[in-house]
Structure 1
Amino acid sequence: MNEKLTERVKLTQRKLRKGTLRAVFEEFDGKLMGLGEGKRAEKYRKMAAGPFSFYRGSAYLFYFDVTREWFPYHTPAERPTWIQGDLHFENFGAFRSARGALVYDVNDFDEGYLGSYLYDLLRMSVSIALVARMKELPVSSQQDVMEEYLHSYWRQMRRFARGKDDPASFQMDAEHAEGPVKKLLRKLQKRRDQHLLEKVTALVQEHRQFAETEEITTPSQAEQEALAEAWPQYLASVQADDAEELRHFGMKDIAVKHGSGTASIGLDRYYVLIEAGADDLGADDVVLEVKEVRVPVPAYFMKYDESFWQAFGHQGKRVVMTQQAMHHEADPYLGYLSIDGRDYYVRERSPYKKRLKLESLESTGDLHSVVSSMGKLTAKLHARADADVEKGILGYHSEHEIVQAMGDDAETFSRSIAGWALAYAEQVEQDYELFTEWLTGRLRSRGKTSARKAEPARMGSAKARRTSAAAEARGGTGREASAEVRASAKAGRQGTVEGGASAKAGRQGTADGGARASAGRQGTADGGASASAGRQGTADGSARTAPARLGTAEAEASAGAEAGAGAGIGPDGS
């Protein structure tokens, strides 16, 4: 074997994939999202935490890849499903329904769009594989957990199609849940309604208002005025028009909410405290979240549907209608508004909102139980958001289309999708390594730019020294003035030395991070071809096994932390 030739092939594959990643990030984060350098650095720091975080923050890369592959289980293009659009393990959680019941369900609908149901299953299956790898399960167990999810979806969808269950009323409460999900819901039953209020607000002279923290800050006067001016739009969207309702929705305080999810960085988010009840001390006040939303990521990769855009030209309305279509008892505070041409939706910030922590899943059996519940709920989303929805946009029942597309062989269906997801999870880990390598180079480049910007300051210091020498030569008050000039010049030199040392330390840190990432990449350069072969072969329903993980979860987290830590070397602190 010609080792030089094979090494050249591997390096070329890495170079091409890295170029793809760079182009996709620049197009979506830079141009479409319009994120500034500071916001991009914040987002990339979160994505650098590990492969799962990277996957969460790069939905556009997933759709860029998956829409270019052929799968045998798609529904016809003219019969799309209303999909969630960004389905992953951490988009499920517990909250309180409109009637006050504690339920477990999907809790994020920002990317809702029309497309094949299969895209939700594929994205979710990959996230399950990445979670299983974080739990350090062997490859065979990773495959088994994904197949559990897919089997559960397949069975529940057939129950809907045969009329054995009704998606319009299907919900997962403490009575119907099992395992860790049931434990979570029962634990939340002990939580008080005031849990969130006591956490994010305070009583100031008997008036309740938001408490200032790192994540909750006071908006500018312009922001407050803009939101107050747009509030009537929200009231109209929830049809609040009589005196009692208007008092209920009266704004008591506004705050800026920081600490967004990875994919939401760069989008505005506010908290609004409304009157809600008659308690003098505001114990029955409600916290609403006003969140900016953009065009859903799947829309850039799927067939354009004119009827969808005519119905949901307002992106806030799209998110609201997606949630109302997919939830049995949607949040009664759902509404939308626009501020300066940017779309927002409004929802209650539930005091009962909580996700399952991965560390709470102590056994493989726990993981199987949870993903089985998630499979049922995914089927409910797809089967409900169709002709069953009042004022919906689909005139047919999606469950019949999906059951026909999946076929009668549940084992082959599940094994095929899980096999592809396993291979793509391997690709995600390789992409994560390329991402941290690209990020390190990007930060090093910005460090050099910072150093060039510091050059005029050093030139200024030299000029100050020359001025000082000339003043001393003149003597008298000139000498007295020269002391001040020398002190100023010294301070300037000290500042540039410290800046240089800081930049040097940052460059050293990124260099070390690059070395570590390089070490972690040994043995994986040929993974791209392997992953590609695995994905191409899943059409015949044969099982695929991906190579063992590239490293332990701890090692990945360490590498990610180093890449993230280096993100502070930019001139703007990002």
Structure 2
Amino acid sequence: MDQQADRVRSTKHVLRKKTINTILDQFDGELMKLSQSSRRKKYDKMRMDSYSFFRGSAYLFFYDVIDLPFAFHTPTDRPTWIMGDMHADNFSGFQNEDHHIVFDVDDFDEGYLGSYLYDVLRMVVSIRLMTAQHEWMPEEQDAFVEEYLKAYVKQLKRFEEGDEDPVSLEFSVENTKGPIKKTLKKLEERKHSHELDKQTIVDHDSIRSFDIGKEKLSSVSKQERNDLASAWKDYIKSLDPTTKQHERFYRIKDVVKKKGSGIGSTGLERYYILIEGEHSGDHQDDIILEAKEARTPIPAYFFSYDDQFWEDNKHQGRRVIHTQRAMHHKADPYLGYFSFRGRDFYVRERSPFSKELKDKHWTSHKDVKRTVRTMAKISAKSHARADADIDEGIMDYHSEGAILDAIGSEKKLFRHQLVLWSRHYQKIVERDYQLFREWLVEKEYFKS
């Protein structure tokens, strides 16, 4: 009987490891065309813990869940913009267009049109994995997920009833508590020159440039810089005309390549670009922009193909900023896009006011509850803001009605099923993480 059980368990592991192998080779190899060196860097980050593995394998998540018969999906004819990779580390504090320090979602690389539920499913699993890292018991993890789901539905209801407006609602020092409030307060104390002081130097001729001595910055060739300068005209054309400055404002003063990145972004090209800003003698108004390569979003490989979507979003950089404008209450005035050396890029400000939560913020029960509750409200705001018919920031209707219709009167059942499912999928991720580590040794990415 023990041999039979071992054979069954071994077969399941072999089949799942083959699935992981196939998906990693298809996405990181065939589609992303990551070099062996880039794959090693990515997998080195993913092997840190099960949460890091989850963050770096969104394609495995969608492969697993895309055809599961969840009861609470919105209908296909009423999609909303989704982040496509919503997890606890994709929320942070930053300064918005009105110069308000706020806490919000901050990553739209996988933005796509579809059911809100995929964002929620990915988020609740991330809450479990994040809190498990900090040794919270499964029952406490259940409570944190329940807290998130309650706050999410409640916030959608507030929007539907007109108590709050998803377009104008923002989360600042005034209406947040705990770690988020503390993070925002620290941001408010920062100098405007924080990022310039961190990334640049001023020479004896008072010329500011990037500090190549920094570990994660590297120089670009003259030809690369010239090619980027030629493409920069398209970026300027792509800017929102209501916030666009005069052309000299965007004059490039220096360019470097940014090395290192998030887990899922490994292998994507990234540049820091120093621009003129409002010209002054002390160069304190120089601005650092980040140009990041954008590729086909992961959900696109699993959702039904939509001709109209791809007609509207041929440029992947435009798709990313389209998603951000849809899901944010205030857009970065530097959002734009261009193509360069056969790749699509989007541009945003490398803001001096940007800060993420720290590990220590997940160690107090009260703090975790406050944090997931605020993240739930932000998730609801982002989905209510987003709309299938949005065109450059103009909405025709809000999406919260479609989501509340999908949940219906079964709010308790909605929470109960997602708590149970998140517990189930957490175990799958933790098992996959161990199989992934075995696979890395077998493929000789790393020694045992």
TM-score by length of structure 2 reads 0.96
- Residue equivalent to 1:210: 210
**Matched residue type, 1:255:** V
1:452 counterpart residue number: none
Which residue of 1 is the match for residue 143 of structure 2?
144
1:235 aligns to 2:272 (yes or no) = no
Number of residues of Structure 1 aligned to a counterpart in Structure 2: 446
Who is 1:195 aligned against? Answer: 194
- For 2:393 and 2:19, the matched residues in 1 are separated by 37
Shift of residue 223, structure 1, vs aligned partner:
1.6
Question: Which structure would you say has the larger RCO, counting Cα contacts within 8 Å and 6 or more residues apart?
Answer: 2
CA displacement, residues 352-373 of structure 1 (integer Å, 9 cap, x when unaligned): 1110002133311100100000
* Structure 2, unaligned runs of 5 or more: none
Q: Specify whether residues 268 and 257 from structure 1 end up closer, same or farther in structure 2 by C-alpha distance, changes over 3 A only.
A: same
Report the AA paired with residue 191 of structure 2.
Answer: R
**Partner in structure 2 of residue 165 of structure 1:** 164
Q: 1:390 to 1:26 in 2, by over 3 A?
A: closer
Instruction: Letter of the 1:321 partner, please give it.
Output: H
Would you say the 8 A contact 2:290–2:347 is kept in 1?
Answer: yes
Q: How far does the alpha carbon of each residue in 1:316-360 deviate from its partner, in whole angstroms, 9 at most, with x for none?
A: 001111111111111000000001221000000011111000213
Q: For the residues of structure 2 that align with 1:235 and 1:278, how far apart are their CA atoms?
A: 18
1:427-457 CA deviation, whole Å, 9 max, x = no partner? 111000000000011117xxxxxxxxxxxxx
Residue of structure 2 in register with 1:35 after alignment: 34
Measured after TM superposition, the shift of residue 99 of structure 1 is: 1.0
- What residue is the counterpart of 2:123 in the other structure? 124
The within-5 A match list for 1:267-306 is 267-306=268-307
2:352 maps to: 351
The equivalent residue for 2:400 is 399
Aligned partner of residue 279 in structure 1, secondary structure: coil
The answer to whether the 8 Å contact 1:248/1:274 transfers is: yes
One-letter amino acid of the counterpart of residue 285, structure 2: D
User: Is the Cα–Cα contact under 8 Å of residues 95 and 352 in structure 1 kept in the other structure?
Assistant: yes
Q: Give yes or no for the alignment of 1:180 onto 2:156.
A: no
Partner in structure 1 of residue 435 of structure 2? 434
Contact 2:17 2:439 in 1 (8 A): yes
Describe the shift of the 1:216–1:107 C-alpha distance in structure 2 as closer, same or farther (beyond 3 A).
same
In 2, Cα distance between equivalents of 1:242 and 1:164 = 30
Shift of 1:387: 6.8
Over 4 Å off, 4+ runs = 239-244, 387-396
SS in 2 for 1:336: strand
Residue of structure 1 in register with 2:112 after alignment = 113
Partner of 1:103: 102
Q: 1:254 aligns to what SS in structure 2?
A: strand
> 1: distance between equivalents of 2:44 and 2:209?
32
Which letter maps to 1:329?
K
Deviates more, 1:403-412 or 1:368-377: 403-412
Distance 1:395 1:192 in 2: 39
Alignment CA distance shift 1:393-1:165 (3 Å): closer
1:74 alignment partner in structure 2: 73
**2:439 is equivalent to residue 416 of structure 1:** no
Alpha-carbon distance, 1:409 to partner: 3.2
> Which moves more between the two structures, 393-402 or 225-234?
393-402
1:103-128 per-position Cα deviation (integer Å, ceiling 9, x unaligned): 00001101100111000000000000
CA-to-aligned-CA distance 1:191-220 (integer Å, 9 cap, x gap): 101011000000012100000122011112
Counterpart Cα distance in 2 of 1:314 and 1:387? 18
1:325 is matched by which residue type in structure 2?
A: A
Cα distance in 2 for partners of 1:47, 1:124 equals: 18
Provide the rounded CA distance (Å) in 2 between the counterparts of 1:67 and 1:55.
Answer: 16
**Gaps in structure 1 of 5+ consecutive residues:** 445-505, 514-574
Please report how far the alpha carbon of residue 389 of structure 1 lies from its aligned counterpart in structure 2 after TM superposition: 4.3
Instruction: Give the corresponding residue for 1:88.
Output: 87
CA RMSD of the aligned region, Å?
Answer: 1.8
SS of 1:262's partner is coil
1:392–1:191 CA distance, 2 compared to 1 (3 A)? closer
Between structure 1 and structure 2, the one with the greater Rg is 1
Separation (CA, whole Å) in 2 of partners of 1:40 and 1:10: 29
Mean alpha-carbon deviation: is it higher for 413-422 or for 19-28?
413-422
Q: Does 1:323 align with 2:304?
A: no
Q: Distance in 1 between matches of 2:357 and 2:245?
A: 38
How many angstroms does 1:390 deviate by?
A: 4.6
Task: From the superposition, tell whether residues 134 and 181 of structure 1 become closer, same or farther in structure 2 (CA, over 3 Å).
Answer: same
Separation in 1, partners of 2:407, 2:30: 38
In the alignment, is the contact (CA less than 8 A) between 1:148 and 1:368 conserved in 2? yes
* Alignment-derived partner of residue 334 in structure 1: 335
Q: How has the CA–CA distance of structure 1 residues 397 and 243 changed in structure 2, closer, same or farther, with 3 Å as cutoff?
A: closer
**Is the Cα contact below 8 Å between 1:269 and 1:289 reproduced in 2?**
yes
> Percent of pairs identical after alignment?
46
Say if 1:42 and 1:192 are closer, same or farther in 2 by CA, change over 3 A. Answer: same
For residues 275-327 of structure 1, what are the alpha-carbon distances to aligned partners after superposition, in whole Å with 9 as ceiling and x for unaligned? 11233231111100000010000000012222211111100001111111111
Structure 1 residue matching 2:153: 3-state secondary structure = helix
The CA distance in 1 between the partners of 2:363 and 2:65, in whole Å, is 32
Give yes or no for contact 1:174–1:186 (8 Å, CA) kept in 2: yes
